[in-house]
Amino acid sequence: MLTKLLGGIVYDPMHGVKGKKRDIYIRDGRIVRKPGKNERIHKTIDVSNKVIMAGGIDIHTHIGGGKVNIARMMLPEDHQQDPVRTTAKTRAGSGYAAPSTLTTGYRYAEMGYTSCFEPAMLPVNARQAHMEMADTPIVDTGAYSLLGNDDFLLQLITKKKSQKLINDYVAWTMHASQAMAVKIVNPGGINAFKFNQRKLDLDDNNSFYNLSPRKILKVLARSLHELGVPHPLHVHGCNLGVPGNVHTTLDTIEAMAGLPIHLTHVQFHSYGTEGDRKFSSGAVHIAEALNKHKNISLDVGQIMFGQTVTASGDTMMQHSGSEHAHPNKWVCMDIECDAGCGVVPFRYRDKNFVNALQWCIGLEIFLLASDPWRIFLTTDHPNGAPFTMYPHLIRLLMDRSFRNDMLSTLNKSARAASVLDSIDREYSLYEIATMTRAAPARSLGLTDRGHLGINACADITVYNEHANKEIMFAQPEYVFKNGTLVVKNGKVINTPAGSTHTVKPDFDPGIEKHLKKYFDRYHTVKLGNFKISDDELLDYGRESLIVHPCVNN
Amino acid sequence: MTSISASKLYKDIACPFCTLLCDDLSIRNDKDKLTVERHGCAKAIKNFERNEPKVNPTIHGENVSMDEAVNHAASILRSAKQPLFAGSSTDVEGSRELMALAEKSGAILDHVHGDAMMNNTLVLQNKGWIMTTLAELKNRADLVIFIGTDASSRYPRFFERLIWDQPSLAGLKKNARDIVYIGDGMDTRSGTSPDGTKPSHIKCNNKEINETVSVIRALLNKVDIQTDSIKPRRLTALKRLCERILSAKYGVIVWDAAEFPASDGDIIIQTISELIKELNKSSRFAGLSLGGNNGGTSFMNVCAWQSGYPMRVNYSEGYPYYDPYSYSTKKILQENASDALLWLSSFDTSLGIPRTDAPTIVLSRPAKRPAHEAEVYFPIGVPGIDHRGNLMRTDNVVSLPLKKLRDIKLESGSEILNKIRQAI
């Protein structure tokens, strides 16, 4: 079956295509060359003057795994306000901040997104995370394994084991948990919290292992680099949410000495201590550092006003933030000598100085960063806001007068503390396509996604151009997943299963000798049962398992 | 070939018969007769080694073909205005199919241990908590307080695997754990350390537990206590316990919601959870909730990720509607608020099927006299014996894969639920 998309205006940054009128041909789930004159085109869809981009890719969204499910269970009121009915094509469920898996898949697709990456999968909870993602229809999924607070790795580093052995362990974990990348959260700090430490700065020591976050970060960043995992170490740094943490973030960048890392939800790590309230924007410094250090990429973690829930592996910081829980209920968990989690509902208020400034800081970072290939659009769903706020966020970035109108309604002191109203920049459609498609695909090593070149996977979104970019991005006219039309006029019409993306670096299987001993001594599951096989993963109901190659560094 | 070489030994098998999910069992299959060779507790041996009676699907007790039974079950659900799905004892895959069928037929979903599990979940939804998991308990806990449960009666290998097992990552010495029981009617023998140190036991009856924990909170918060309302001996014991709580490096409080009175279990659990939160202002403490047997933890998690609610969800209006109080199996049946019952029971053969005048569809592990009241009956296989699957552990974190160990031609609950859904 050959389908032609006729006359669309194409934005394909991977190929430098900036709003050119082009026809696109789809066959067997792939984008193909213009067919010969004698070839039959089975279906032509007229998309004249509509905007075409590859399907959106969310590089950081909490959609599956233990802490997300705790958030769902904890917040019936979140769902009661947003019930989702069964239709002829879709199943029932619920929104809003912690939506059901089924609803998550539909809403991403309806927004033109076709791939979502869960950034904080605890290896010991990986099976559940993958099972939840298997119940997230349409979109492709992948996950980053959480390391850096697990007792095994901390032991290896403390005992000064070789980088090679550590690399074997990291690679083994990626295989065992079917991961796409590796994330570190509050390096060593989640573990330190189990020993009652309440703060761990970059050069403080985890008291039990006598290890600093700096040391752990360097070892893990090097490991990912040496293994050739396309996405560099995904870093949720020390001191999340703490005023003054902009210095921690800048020190972290310096500490890497050129090693690639990705700084995630950096808005939460960009706070200064200036002003009467000892809370200020560090966005200028962060953007400067990003512009200068080409080894760094980041996603913003923009906040939006309203009720949401924060779900993080950072037990230490979530516990200290629990006093702000709204409504007043929260969960913290120490987890299985692997990591932890904290789930704290939160309402960001535009009249609140800190929240209003957080909103400004996120936007400042977006607008001051010069290279959209190294900054990705996220709200750290649901921590800053639910992912369904993306179209609103895109409008804020693309429409200065709208942005300034919104700004003018915020807390006055926060406005005074922000440079936002002096920034003229408006993102172009090309830049939006870069930061929501091409750049995340390149960062993750998805060579056939995020673009519209020949042989690319036919994950395609067709938008109606509209002066109001929020309307434009909220309701695409068509969305294709693997060449199948899944959304028409903003509504799901087909619900194929997505695929799971992984990266499986080589390792010396000798690591299992160390691990078996460790598991038998300390763990409560057997090594063999910890590992998720390919067959098992596919059994959950995925379309396919896609293994991306490593790169030579 | 000798019979010995014809038999097959399976190692590192996960046991689905309680939510500890011990996964170190060795099980031999000899001509589809299973024997637990290593690490079987009495519960595991009884359940793995059970001879399943050969039974067929039935309608009103008469043997029928699978297709006839499926079509009959579908017709019951099609004509019912408000079906109730109860028992719900199955693995993750079975839970997914159960959800899909409930949505299609507009049913209410509850679990056989719904009362106990909801008493926990109501605390989560009201105030939240600080929890830990089995490996954290084993590796870190120097003080373990059992409230209202001795753990070992319902979770036979709890102490062997999690309390006295060595070594520990945090360097706890073999006999170093301080074990305390609060409650009555407990078998405290497992709490004696390998060197013979006896555990402490603060005796109080079930109705006094909330008050006892409240006194601990008051003592720790230095709130005046009306000493005439508490026995002096108990007060002394509680004061001593508070000293130990304050000197613990990582304390864990263990409870089992099923062992608290159903009427106010949530109140007790909330008092315990608030105590734990208060302790964490300056030191480390965490809770460990036991429960969710018969696939309860798995069912609750699947229900939460698919619907947004832990259970007690009604699909009759076309979307999930949650009511933790009205949608208890007992209440619905008492009020005759359901006109069809689907009962699913994959593990424990002793679970009684609730009585109702409504037509009943039963899917259960084979039984000789299977639910004489069932209008339609399906024998189903056991996840982890007759088919592969996944189950989630009591701590809500670890999921373990279940293996197929024998082939006696039993279909899984999820396969049959799927057939019924297709037939509707």
What are the residues whose beta carbons fall under 8 Å from the beta carbon of A358, sequence distance 6 or more? A267, A268, A303, A348
> In chain B, how many domains are there?
3
B323 in contact with A at a CB cutoff of 8 Å? no
pLDDT for the residue B229: 79
CB contact under 8 A, A194 and B301: no
Residue B312 lies inside a defined structural domain of this protein: yes
**Judged by CB atoms within 8 Å, which residues 50-69 of B form the interface with A?**
none
Give the DSSP per-residue string, A42-65.
-EEEE-TT-EEEEPEEESS---SS
Residues B258 and B378 in one domain: no
Give the residue carrying structure tokens 């460990």: B288
Dihedral sign (CA A427, A432, A433, A435): positive
CB contact under 8 A, A92 and B24: no
Chain B residue with CA closest to A65: the answer is B397
CB contact under 8 A, A73 and B125: yes
Residues B322 and B416 in one domain: yes
Apex B305 CA angle, B16 and A235, nearest 5: 100
Residue-range definition of the domain harbouring residue B337: 58-113+295-423
CB contact under 8 A, B128 and A75: no
Contacts of B396 in chain A (CB under 8 A): 66, 69-70
Three-state secondary-structure class, residue B112:
coil
Residue B278 lies inside a defined structural domain of this protein: yes
Q: Give the nearest partner residue to B397 out of A98, A336, A521, using CB atoms.
A: A336
Give the DSSP per-residue string, B132-145.
--HHHHHHH-SEEE
One-letter identity of residue B193: S
CA distance A299 to A205: 27
CB contact under 8 A, A334 and B14: no
Best of B398, B421, B424 to substitute, by most chain A Cβ atoms within 10 angstroms, is B398
Where do runs of H (alpha helix) occur along A83-228? 101-110, 126-134, 151-158, 163-177, 189-194, 213-227
State which H helix or E strand residue A319 sits in: helix A315-321
CA distance B131 to B255: 11
**Judged by CB atoms within 8 Å, which residues 381-420 of B form the interface with A?**
388, 390, 392, 395-401
φ, ψ for residue B106, nearest 5 deg: 65, 40
pLDDT for the residue B329: 98
The minimum CA-CA distance between B136 and chain A, rounded to whole Å, is 5
CB contact under 8 A, B139 and A332: no
Residue B53 lies inside a defined structural domain of this protein: no
Whole-model pTM: value is 0.98
Dihedral sign (CA A222, A227, A228, A229): negative
DSSP assignment letter at A399: -
Contacts of A346 in chain B (CB under 8 A): none
Residues B16 and B92 in one domain: no
**Judged by CB atoms within 8 Å, which residues 195-254 of B form the interface with A?**
249-250
What are the residues whose beta carbons fall under 8 Å from the beta carbon of B157, sequence distance 6 or more? B20, B22, B39, B41
Contacts of B124 in chain A (CB under 8 A): 70, 73-74, 329, 331
pLDDT in tens, B118-162: 999 999 999 999 999 999 999 999 999 999 999 999 999 999 999
What does R_g of chain B's alpha carbons equal in angstroms? 23
Residues B128 and B255 in one domain: yes
User: 10 Å Cβ neighbour count for A347?
Assistant: 15
CB contact under 8 A, A522 and B135: yes
The minimum CA-CA distance between A175 and chain B, rounded to whole Å, is 16
Positions in chain B short of pLDDT 50: 1-3
Residues B197 and B73 in one domain: no
Residues B39 and B164 in one domain: no
CB contact under 8 A, A529 and B300: no
B14 in contact with A at a CB cutoff of 8 Å? yes
**Judged by CB atoms within 8 Å, which residues 277-296 of B form the interface with A?**
280, 283-284, 286
CATH number (domain holding residue B356): 3.40.50.740
Q: Whose CA is closest to B303, among B88, B134, B128, B21?
A: B88
- Is the bond into A96 cis (omega within 30 degrees of 0)? yes
CB contact under 8 A, A522 and B321: no
How far CA B385 is from CA of A365, A426, B382, B404, in Å, comes to 55, 61, 5, 5
Residue pair B98/B241 in contact (Cβ under 8 Å)? The answer is no
Best of A190, A328, A334 to substitute, by most chain B Cβ atoms within 10 angstroms, is A334
Q: Residue ranges per domain, chain A?
A: 58-447
Contacts of B278 in chain A (CB under 8 A): none
CA distance B236 to B248: 19
Give the residue carrying structure tokens 């924060």: A310
Residues B303 and B272 in one domain: no
Residues B300 and B393 in one domain: yes
Chain B residue with CA closest to A523: the answer is B135
Question: Where does A58-447 sit in CATH, by number?
Answer: 3.20.20
Residues B78 and B103 in one domain: yes
Residues B188 and B262 in one domain: yes
CA distance B360 to B346: 16
CA of residue B117 relative to chain centroid, distance: 8
CB contact under 8 A, A332 and B388: no
Contacts of B162 in chain A (CB under 8 A): 524
One-letter identity of residue B395: D
Chain B residue with CA closest to A342: the answer is B130
- How many interface pairs between A and B have CB atoms less than 8 angstroms apart? 187
What are the residues whose beta carbons fall under 8 Å from the beta carbon of B1, sequence distance 6 or more? none
Q: Give the nearest partner residue to A194 out of B12, B125, B140, using CB atoms.
A: B140
Residues B126 and B101 in one domain: no
B135 in contact with A at a CB cutoff of 8 Å? yes
Q: Give the nearest partner residue to A94 out of B24, B320, B399, using CB atoms.
A: B320
User: 10 Å Cβ neighbour count for A411?
Assistant: 19
pLDDT for the residue B370: 58
Contacts of A135 in chain B (CB under 8 A): 96, 305-306
Q: What is the pLDDT tens value at each position of chain A, 553 positions in all?
A: 999 999 999 999 999 999 999 999 999 999 999 999 999 999 999 999 999 999 999 999 999 999 999 999 999 999 999 999 999 999 999 999 999 999 999 999 999 999 999 999 999 999 999 999 999 999 999 999 999 999 999 999 999 999 999 999 999 999 999 999 999 999 999 999 999 999 999 999 999 999 999 999 999 999 999 999 999 999 999 999 999 999 999 999 999 999 999 999 999 999 999 999 999 999 999 999 999 999 999 999 999 999 999 999 999 999 999 999 999 999 999 999 999 999 999 999 999 999 999 999 999 999 999 999 999 999 999 999 999 999 999 999 999 999 999 999 999 999 999 999 999 999 999 999 999 999 999 999 999 999 999 999 999 999 999 999 999 999 999 999 999 999 999 999 999 999 999 999 999 999 999 999 999 999 999 999 999 999 999 999 999 999 999 998 7
CB contact under 8 A, B308 and A99: yes
